[in-house]
């Protein structure tokens, strides 16, 4: 069983939601990223999303854009990100999903990527600009290597698309909690709960919610009805302020622990 599936199955048994932090790989260095992943795991992360930096991140807000630029200044590439994950696997079994734009994967070669990523210990891929329609040629390649393909569902997705995306998604389904780009915001759109319920009508795969969640309170609120809570920009911003090193990792872990606590102490209806 894929690490992601195993983790969600275990959480479901415990009636818990997953806390899924997102960080940009290579910001500020890949050594720091490895340190951050371990710190996040200690803080209570269930799954980690690693952003693959891209020069033209058109689905990202300013915070993630700047993180990608910092990483690219250090010449981070998909190849050395996989190398970093491979080393990380000596220390952790936490499920790792790469969050990427398609072009770096295409340039690597989809087949070579699938093989190398699975071998390195990556568990899944989410390509933010590869919607369902464009995945037909690539999905089977990723799946046969053992990688999960996580798809996004948006507030604008009509019900027939929701159904098809839910069917094609594996590992989990990522519901984009707002019409917009990544970035922290004050409140989570109220329609999110209803949309998660609408997705569940089509699937019993885990549904994670992200884009704009930045505080423990928001995390607690969303964890009451979602199977996973993704927090990205709020953590990435903190990393941007702190830079790298062991001390920064401890501070990021402290913030992540609050978020994880929000998720863990959420009042969830009985596990389904």
Partner 1 sequence: MTESALLSGTQKVYSYPDATGRYGRFGGKFVPETLMPALRELEEAFHAFQADAKFQERLTAYRRDYIGRPTPLFHAARFSEHLGGAKIYFKREDLAHTGAHKINNALGQTLLAKEMGKDRIIAETGAGQHGVATATAAALLGLHCEVYMGEEDMERQRLNVFRMELMGARVIPVKSGTKTLKDAINEAIRDWVTNVTTTHYVLGTVHGPHPYPLICREFQRIIGHEAREQILEKEGRLPHCLIACVGGGSNSIGLFFEFLQDEEVRMIGVEAGGHGPETGEHAARFAGGAEGTLHGAMSYVLQDPDGQILGTHSVSAGLDYPSVGPEHAHLMSSGRVEYVYANDSEALEAFQLVSRMEGIIPALESAHALAHAAKAAPAMSPEDIVIVNMSGRGDKDVQQAIRLLDPEKSGPEAG
Residue 41 known to be catalytic: no
- By beta-carbon proximity to partner 1, the closer residue of 104 and 121 is 104
SS3 label, residue 127: strand
DSSP H or E segment with residue 79: helix 78-88
Q: Report CA 73 to chain centroid distance, whole Å.
A: 23
Q: Lay out the site mask for partner 1 across 179-218 (x = CB under 8 A, - = otherwise).
A: xxx-------------------------------------
Which stretch, 11-19, 51-59, 86-94, 200-208, contacts partner 1 (CB under 8 A)? 51-59
Q: How far apart are CA 12 and CA 22, in angstroms?
A: 21
Which stretch, 11-19, 178-186, 193-201, 230-238, contacts partner 1 (CB under 8 A)? 178-186
Residue 183 tokens read as: 């970035």
Q: Lay out the site mask for partner 1 across 82-101 (x = CB under 8 A, - = otherwise).
A: -------------------x
Enumerate residues 113-172 that contact partner 1 by CB under 8 A. Answer: 128-134, 151-158, 161, 165
106 lies in the binding site for partner 1 (CB under 8 A)? yes
Give all strands (DSSP E) within the chain, no chain letters: 18-24, 48-51, 96-100, 124-127, 148-149, 151-153, 173-176, 207-210, 228-231
- By beta-carbon proximity to partner 1, the closer residue of 85 and 165 is 165
The residues near 120 (Cβ < 8 Å, ≥ 6 apart) are 82, 83, 85, 86, 89
Residue 210 tokens read as: 């992200």
DSSP 56: -
- By beta-carbon proximity to partner 1, the closer residue of 165 and 222 is 165
Closest distance of CB 246 from partner 1, Å: 29
Which stretch, 18-26, 73-81, 82-90, 212-220, contacts partner 1 (CB under 8 A)? 73-81
Could you give the residue numbers annotated as active site? 49, 60
């Amino acid at each position: 069983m894929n690490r992601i599936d195993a983790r969600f199955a275990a959480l479901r048994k415990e009636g818990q939601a997953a806390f899924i932090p997102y960080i940009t790989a290579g910001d500020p260095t890949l050594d720091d990223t490895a340190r951050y992943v371990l710190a996040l795991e200690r803080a209570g992360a269930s799954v980690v999303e690693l952003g693959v930096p891209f020069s033209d991140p058109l689905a990202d807000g300013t915070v993630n854009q700047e993180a990608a630029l910092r990483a690219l200044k250090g010449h981070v590439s998909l190849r050395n990100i996989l190398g970093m994950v491979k080393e990380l696997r000596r220390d952790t079994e936490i499920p790792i999903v790469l969050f990427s734009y398609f072009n770096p994967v295409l340039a690597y070669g989809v087949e070579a990527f699938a093989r190398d990523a699975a071998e390195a210990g990556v568990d899944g891929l989410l390509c933010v600009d590869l919607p369902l329609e464009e995945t037909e040629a690539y999905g089977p390649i990723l799946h046969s290597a053992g990688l999960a393909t996580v798809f996004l569902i948006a507030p604008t997705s009509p019900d027939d698309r929701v159904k098809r995306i839910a069917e094609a998604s594996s590992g989990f389904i990522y519901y984009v909690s707002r019409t917009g780009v990544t970035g922290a915001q004050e409140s989570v759109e109220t329609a999110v709960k209803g949309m998660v319920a609408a997705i569940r009508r089509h699937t019993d795969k885990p549904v994670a919610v992200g884009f704009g969640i930045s505080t423990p309170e928001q995390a607690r609120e969303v964890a009451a009805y979602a199977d996973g809570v993704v927090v990205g920009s709020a953590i990435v911003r903190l990393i941007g302020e702190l830079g790298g090193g062991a001390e920064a990792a401890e501070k990021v872990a402290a913030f992540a622990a609050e978020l994880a606590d929000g998720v863990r102490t959420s009042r969830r209806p009985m596990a389904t």
